Amino acid sequence: MSNHKSAKKRIRQTARRTEVNGARRSSVRTAIKLVEKAILAGDKAAAAAALKSAEPQMMRSAQLGIFHKNTVARKVSRLSAGIKAIA
């Protein structure tokens, strides 16, 4: 365990950040699942609406470093293609 004051503070900050990042990661994954569920159901309007609300969350999480930017770009691209394929 750490003895330095700065190291103890770092541990507290890391714990707080880990908790926040975990919550953000979870909410993004839930949003993605909602889009995928709408795509599987064949409901194009609901899927488009779900993607419209999920995409900003996904991009924000990439900016914050929670997900890699290419991962988010790939997921958005595949979800968009899935919606487009419903026709």
Rounded CA separation 12/81 (Å): 42
pTM recorded for the entire structure: 0.85
pLDDT in tens, the chain (87 residues): 778 999 999 999 999 999 999 999 999 999 999 999 999 999 999 999 999 999 999 999 999 999 999 999 999 999 999 999 997
SS (H, E, C) 32-83: HHHHHHHHHHCCHHHHHHHHHHHHHHHHHHHHCCCCCHHHHHHHHHHHHHHH
Q: Which amino acid is at 83?
A: I
In one-letter notation, the amino acid at residue 37 is: K
pLDDT of residue 87: 73
Write down all domains in the chain, each with its CATH number in brackets.
Answer: 5-86 (1.20.58.110)
